[in-house]
Structures are given as C-alpha cells and as structure tokens.
Amino acid sequence: MGLLAAGIGAGIVAVGAGIGIGMIGRSSVESIARQPEASGDIRGAMILTAALIEGVALIGAIVCILLALGIGQ
C-alpha cells in the first residue's frame, strides 16, 4: 500500500509541476507579446519561477521515494 501511495504521490508531483510551468510559460508569452521591450525582465522572472517550481517538485519526488523505500519510519 505504501508503494502505491508513493507512486501516486510522485505522479501528482510531476503533473503539478508540469501544469505550473505550463502556466508560467503561457503567461510569459502573453506578457512578452504585450510588452516586447520588457522581454528580458519577463524571461528572467519566468526562469527563476520555473526553477523554484522544479525544486519543490524534486523535493516532493524525493519524499515519495523515501516513503517507498521505508526510510525514516
């Protein structure tokens, strides 16, 4: 049961990160289309935010792996 929960948790983490980064990409493209002169600032903020989302997703995946292996119980 623990392995199933860890697998489902890892899947949810991956889907959540994918949706979040997709929303960031969509918003940044819309923003650059509206204000092309601010593309450098928008791109920098987008990359920083995507990196933070990936970091949280990685932590979530590691927690799921630790739960699956039974470490910390």
Q: Which of 45, 42, 44, 41 is nearest to 31 (CA)?
A: 42
Residues 6+ apart with CB under 8 A from 32: 38, 39, 42, 43
H helices within the chain, ranges in order? 2-34, 39-69
Q: What is the pLDDT of residue 73?
A: 67
Q: CA 59, CA 56: separation in Å to the nearest integer?
A: 5
Q: What is the pLDDT of residue 36?
A: 94
What are the residue ranges spanned by the domains of the chain?
1-69
Q: What is the pLDDT of residue 38?
A: 94
Which stretches in the chain have pLDDT values below 50?
A: none
What fold is seen in the domain 1-69? Answer: F1FO ATP Synthase (1.20.20)
Q: What is the pLDDT of residue 72?
A: 64
Q: What is the pLDDT of residue 25?
A: 95
pTM: 0.82
